[in-house]
Structure 1
Amino acid sequence: MKASFKAKYETDKAAAAATVAVNAGDIKLRASMTDATIVSGPNLNGLALAVEKPGFFIVDYNVPKKDFRFQFMNTIRVSEKPLNLTYMHSRGDNRTSLDGTLVFDSANKVSANHVLGSGNCKLKYTYVHGGLTTFEPSYDFSKNSWDFAISRRVYGDDVFRAAYQTSSKNLGLEWSRNSKLNGSFKISASLNLADERKMPKLTAESTWDFEM
């Protein structure tokens, strides 16, 4: 049995979440809750259940909303290159999306996302240079705009990332660390360059994993 605890802090609020996962053969059972489940007495707010077969499917159930979300994964080969496909459907808002990622090699891949019944389609190219620096330009067809991101891995566990959305003029900076010994954390700042006040939004997240 595995458990994780996540705490999130923003300039004006704080939140927490916990997850417990149990392996049943090749099936994983997962339950998660947020601080809304406990605040003001035990209740169903923030409670979610999931059944997962890694690499094949995930079924999520939002208990308070009585809403299911289905996710199915498969991999096919195109010209001897793996094409990873993901189908997602949320029953509550009747939203269906398709994701596809074509992996050319360890340094190059192209991914696309499309929401069925809408003009919402995004295309992203990912290039990893030297195994440490990642460039991710993407194009949003619905907004007719480009987004750009660059990240750099340093000291093994630390990753620094910068991203810019041209449509909203939003600049994001992020520092994250994923350590099996000391837990994981992420510190991020976002700034809307179109805002005259130029006040950044700061967020800090910490995650601890436990074997039970």
Structure 2
Amino acid sequence: AVKERELPPVDDAFAKLASEFDTIEELKKDFTERLTRVKKLEQGAQARDLLVEKLLADITIEVPDDLVLEEVNSHLEGEGRLEDDVHRAEVDKEVRDSIKSEFLLDSLVKAEEVQITEIELTEYLVRMSQRYGMAPDQFAQELQKAGQITQVIAEVTRAKALASALGRINVVDKAGAKVELEELRIPAAAAAESAPE
């Protein structure tokens, strides 16, 4: 025999039990608002990625082979796969694309004369420390020990430059409706967390 599981009714009692809301209407409203926000954030991230793709397609960026080789070897060595030629080709492409994106975004930083504030850097460090389950001070010390502070500053600055460029273009969804990115304006620190590498 098949056992049927009986689910509780979706009512105010359920809303109180399953959430901080007192009524099912409040819970539904919150759920709808969250879904709408997630969709808008996804549209913003997609617009950002498409902008980078478009810029990369429109320009030629020469990437030094020795820099690529160094990065590829470091990556493969870390995986213990130095002799894997198929994987080497995949990693080579990923590294080239990543370096091209960094060069492009660095050019954007320079052209836009973008600088980040101490507050933006701190916000980024706090967010990332939470992601890793560490205290912000401890996370910053670990980054400093690993010699990655400069890289983090560059990452946040690139994200801010990209957000600035994105703010000057019109973005439409598949239906042709304008996507209001201004509503999604988030600090450079948050943008850096999801910026393309």
Q: What band does the TM-score fall into relative to the shorter chain? A: under 0.3
More helix by share: 2
TM value normalised by structure 2: 0.17
Structure showing greater radius of gyration is: 2
